[in-house]
Each structure stands twice: as structure tokens, then as C-alpha cells.
Structure 1
């Protein structure tokens, strides 16, 4: 018999509902919505339906609580449940509850992760969990000692996931900094006009490349090859599949080897070296190489360099939503070494790119693995038989 089986063997479980005041306090009366423009910036988390929306002065609650989305949950299949400790501000898009007497708040939080909320939701596009439905949700109440052990086990998995995420994120951040450092060093020209002890020729972007003139039909576009500013990732992280795909008209086309740059808010450093053909819109610039003096990968590294993004911001137009100046971008000057030296630089930077990509792809996989482990043990520990299916609130 496993430890989990021994833990739950013969355990008597009482069933109740969230509306039973002997076990659950509903603290909705303290909630208070505040418009963003009226919030006073502070250090107290301001919670909405899905997560922390802001940090403010003042608080509505102080203690250990669970926040359940009243409306606006991003995913009704995986309903928004948040755990809050200490002082916080809750708006009116969350129900605020906690366990009392013989019900641990943290145990209740873990249990609510497996509750199917859909049957309790009302409304159409913006599903709502009314208080009237909230109080009907059935909950198990095993002995406090069992609740405490279940919480200890599940919190261990949560902490391990958090530690792993922090370690891998720190590793990824360090590798990205290293990558950017070596890019800047390898592309630097010294006071003698030499790049890595080699003479260079200065070129403008307009001399070696041009904006794409290619047009493609929307019928040839899908989520994997449509690129907009929304699916270009910040800080040179490439792109992801698009949630939106145009269904009519023609688009600016791009080809394998082109460099795509997000032209809204250049400081976000959205850039991608294309490995396929596809289409984009006017908010994304497509740089197509026309010179044989440049390696396409070398051009990408030049445009991914901080010096280009700084130049782009210096000449950007607009204050609230700056946009790159297309004419000035083509005037950007950069040093061009021999093709052999370009290839050497690209080879070095490709190694950093491969390492960074490996960590970037491995991070979500590791997190997903730990999440599945947590869910496996959570489901085993929190699946109790309902001894009184016809139970109604005392």
C-alpha cells in the first residue's frame, strides 16, 4: 500500500457547500473597484478576475483568502482561482472567501482547482459565477490533520516548480545577456576602423537591402506564416503562431532569409529572421537583402544589435505609440567585413542562439512536466467519494 493510500485509508469525509458559514466565510462586502486613473500607486496588490492588475495604496482585505473569478475568467475550463496572503485590494470581479473552523483555506484552494465551474456559470459571452451559484458548490472536509498533510504534499510540488522556473529563467537571462554582449563585441569597430582586426566597409541598409515589394494573397496565409506585431515576440525572441489570420485581400509578402521588424514601439525589440515564406501587414517591416556582399544571417545580427534599436528609437515618430521612421531606417549605417569574417561571426553567434533557443524551448516543457506531476497527485489526494449525494446546506 502506497503512502497516499495509507493517508486516505478509512478517512471520514464530511461534505458541505461553500455557502455553509460553519466552514466558509464569504468576504465580498469589502470589495471595491477603482478605475485605473483613480488608483494611487503603492505596494499593495490590486486583484482582478485573473491576476494582479496593479499595485496601490490601501487595502480591502488582510489575511489568507481565496479569490474566485465572478466574471471575466480567461478560461472557463480552467477557472481562475487565486490565493492571496496579507494585505490586498480586491475589485468586484472576484469572490473573496476563506476557510474557517475545521476547514483549511489552503486545502480549500487546492480543492477548488479540480472543481468544474461550468455548470455553475450563467450568461453567454462573459460567463458569470453569481454568489447564488457560488454557495451551491460542494466541498469535502476531511480531518484537519489530513488536510494539512495534503497541503504539505501539494505545496512541495508547487515550490519545486517555482524553484525550477526561477533557476531556468535565471539561466536563460544569463545566456541572453551573454549572447547580446558577444554580438555587440563582435560587431564593434575600434578607433582604428577595424572590426576584429579586419578592415571594413561602411554601408547603409538601403544600399544592401530594400523593403519587400512582394504581394501575397490572404488565401495562402495561415496562423503559422502570418506575422503581425502581436505575434512577434519582445527582446529578439522571434515569433509565435498568430491568433489572427486575414481572410481577404493581399498582404506584404516575405521570403526565407528576410528580416521582419516590428515597427510599432521599436524599444520592444521585436525582430525575426524568417525561415519560411508568408505575409504580414503595414506594422511590420520586411527587409529583403539585395546585395551579395552580405550574409543574410549577418544582416540579421546587425539589425538585432542594440545599436540599431537605439538608432531606430532616436528617429521614431510619435510619443505614446512611437513608430519607426522607414526612410531613416534605410539610412542606418553599419560596418561590413569580408564574407569570410561575416561567416565566422555568424558561426559564433549561432552557437549562442542555439543554446538560448534550447533553454527557451526546454523551460515550458519542464514547467509542464512539473505541472502534470502536481495535477496527478492533486487529483489522487482530493478525489473523495461523495457519501451524501443529496446533501443540502445545513
Structure 2
């Protein structure tokens, strides 16, 4: 049975009405409090900035709290209300909603609204994530340094209103998808922690067990062959053009052809480490002067050094405060434990398996999570795509 025929059977001939959000429920804006007001325990609160990272479809506990005396001066969302973000750095931030299902009320920031209605709050929360809702509120969002929307603008969006039992069934189906994604995400986190543990164990050697060599003695540095090209002079093509953190463009020609290890030479990521500062590349490529180019004799030696560099603190080798830089001299001076090739192969074999599981976008957990997210979004939009009533034209 298809999803649509299943929903038709569930509706049993009942026509789904579309109504403005302002017709179905009531919006209430929160009151301002600042991050210094937030404490580790007290009265539950939700700051709008937390909505992007901590809350999804629903929540029954808060991540932050405020003093109870302050809470009485602020505004709250009650159990069954939907907390909706009304301000953010981009238009895409606006309208995200979370059903509050906690036993007590929760204080909400003035960049949020609470929405109280007789509708299933999780059904509303799922609807707020659809493109059809986002498209409806876009004309009412004011843009500038901060994008924002008021209650009147939110209220102009229309929502399909099937019977409550149908709302509950839609929520049940979509919860199944989000729970599976959550389980996979938790599994990925556990595997990442396991990977970090084994990586550190495998790359830690007791003093005197192995010799240590400088990176300059282990790798051949090909920095002198790099050629930066300004964006205006690059001829478009299908050859990857690499910078400090990865591919920045595609060009027509190449200067390297083979297997290499690139290491970030400059940029904030040398300190932040939000992405790996050492990464392997293969095939034809062009590299600018923001990444060092290292060549090794074997795959195992290259990957071993890649794993090691990404595991250690490079601060002692980095110069510059405003613009961090890992120059060639300092890069070459980094000391690397140098076990036998057989041991390197063993270490790399283990870490490669973890790396595939935790980072691969083609066969690892991230790919599985992406597919489940796409599946969830497909069914969410399908299940919430009730036909709108035809508008009768008048002369």
C-alpha cells in the first residue's frame, strides 16, 4: 500500500482544511534575558541560540536554567506549546520550531515565540520544517544584520489540519525516521570516540621503543613546485585546485599527478582544527601556496604521517597570532615516531577501517545518516502535502 493510499484510508473521506496559523492558535513572544543570566540549575530556559544546536522536533528537558526569581519576570512556554525561532543570522534560521513537552514551563528568549493551539505540537513542529512553510513566511521576514519575523508574519502561513488521530499517525511515522537517525548519530559519536582512543593508543610509543625522525627526513617536500593562481586567471576544468583545507576550485591543467599528503600552511584552522590539517590526495591536481605538498614512498608511510599529524598539538610549530602559519622549516622539524614499515602498515590498516566507518560519505555511517535524513525529509513532505482547496474566481 502506498503512503498516499494509506493516508486516504486513514482520512476515510474527511477533507483536510488549511487554516492560517493565527486562526488556529496564539503566539506569545518571550522576554529578553542574556547569557550571563543562564545558570547550571534553576528554572528551565531556552535561549534562541540553543535552538539551532540542542533542540530538534521536541524536547522535555532544557539545556540551561535561570534563577527562579528572574523566571517570574519573564515569559514561558507551557507543556504542549511549540517554541519558534523568530530571529537569526540568516533567513533559513527563522521559523524553526520545537514542541515543548516538559513537565514544567520553560522560559523563552525574546527572539522566540511560543505557539499554543489545539493541534498536536509535534505535528506542528514537523510542519515548520517543510519547504511549504518556509516559502510562506519568506515574504514576512525582515533581513539585515539580523533576520527576523513577527507574530503577524508567522500567523499568515497556512497549515493543513487533518483530524487529531491522523496528526498523531503522521507524527508516529516521522518519529520512526528521526529516531533511526538519532540512533545512527549516537552510533557515529561512539565510533568517533573509539577511533580517537585507538588512534592515540596506536600512535603513542614508550621512550626508547622506536626511533624518532623529523618529518623532513621522512618525506620529500615539493613546495617549490606549487603555483598559486588568482581566481580571475584560473581556466575552468575538472582538475581539483587545492588550498589549505581542501578543494577550492577546479581548473583545466595540473602540476602534480600521483599520491601526496597536503598539510595546511596557514589559516585559522591550524588552531581551530575544525577540519583535518593533513589530508591525502590522489591523481592529477593543482596546489596553491597555502598547503605544503609531501611525497612518500609507500601508502602506509603517507597515511601513518597523516594520522599522526592530525592527532598531535601543533601549537609549538605555529607562528603568527592574527594569521597562524606553519612554515616549511617548522613543518620539517616536527618529530615523528618511526616504527618499522610492517608496524606502520598494521597501524594504518586499523585506523583506515575506523576512518571509513566514521568519515566516509560513500560507505560509512555519515553516508547512512545522510540517506536516512533524505528519506525522512521525503516522507515528511509527502505526508504533509495535503491538497489545498481550489480558489473560486469571482467576476
**The two structures share one fold, judged by TM-score above 0.5:** yes
Q: 2:96 aligns with which of 81, 86, 97?
A: 81
Partner of 1:314: 316
Shift in Å at residue 128 of structure 1?
5.8
SS in 2 for 1:42: coil
Structure 2: tracts of 5 or more residues without a match: 56-62
**Contact 2:174/2:379 (CA < 8 Å) preserved in 1?**
yes
Larger mean CA deviation between 10-19 and 372-381 belongs to 372-381
Q: 1:274 aligns with which of 281, 292, 310?
A: 281
Where do 1:7-26 residues align within 5 Å?
Answer: 7-20=10-23, 23-26=24-27
1:134 aligns with 2:154: yes
1:112 aligns with 2:132: no
Shift in Å at residue 309 of structure 1?
2.6
SS in 2 for 1:385: coil
Shift in Å at residue 83 of structure 1?
0.9
Q: Deviations over 1:91-116 (max 9, x none)?
A: 53x5x24232x322221122233324
**Contact 1:308/1:332 (CA < 8 Å) preserved in 2?**
no
Q: How many residues align?
A: 347
TM-score by length of 1: 0.70
**Contact 2:99/2:125 (CA < 8 Å) preserved in 1?**
no
1:162 aligns with 2:164: no
Q: Deviations over 1:107-152 (max 9, x none)?
A: 1122233324335424797676554432221122233233223222
Partner of 1:236: none
Partner of 1:235: none
Structure 1: tracts of 5 or more residues without a match: 233-238
Partner of 2:138: 121
SS in 2 for 1:258: strand
**Contact 1:189/1:335 (CA < 8 Å) preserved in 2?**
no
Give the direction of change, closer, same or farther, for the CA distance of 1:213–1:368 in structure 2 (3 Å limit).
Answer: same
Larger mean CA deviation between 341-350 and 319-328 belongs to 319-328
> Cα RMSD over matched residues?
4.1
Where do 1:123-272 residues align within 5 Å?
Answer: 129=149, 131-182=151-202, 184-185=203-204, 188=205, 190-191=207-208, 194-195=209-210, 200=211, 202-208=212-218, 209-210=220-221, 212-216=223-227, 218=229, 219=234, 225-229=240-244, 232=245, 239=246, 241-242=247-248, 245=249, 256-262=258-264, 263=266, 264=268, 265-266=270-271, 268=273, 270-272=277-279
Partner of 2:58: none
Separation of aligned partners in 1, 2:336 and 2:172 = 58
SS in 1 for 2:22: coil
SS in 1 for 2:224: coil
**Contact 1:48/1:90 (CA < 8 Å) preserved in 2?**
no
Q: Deviations over 1:227-264 (max 9, x none)?
A: 344xx3xxxxxx5x44xx499xxx9x766433222344
Give the direction of change, closer, same or farther, for the CA distance of 1:81–1:302 in structure 2 (3 Å limit).
Answer: same
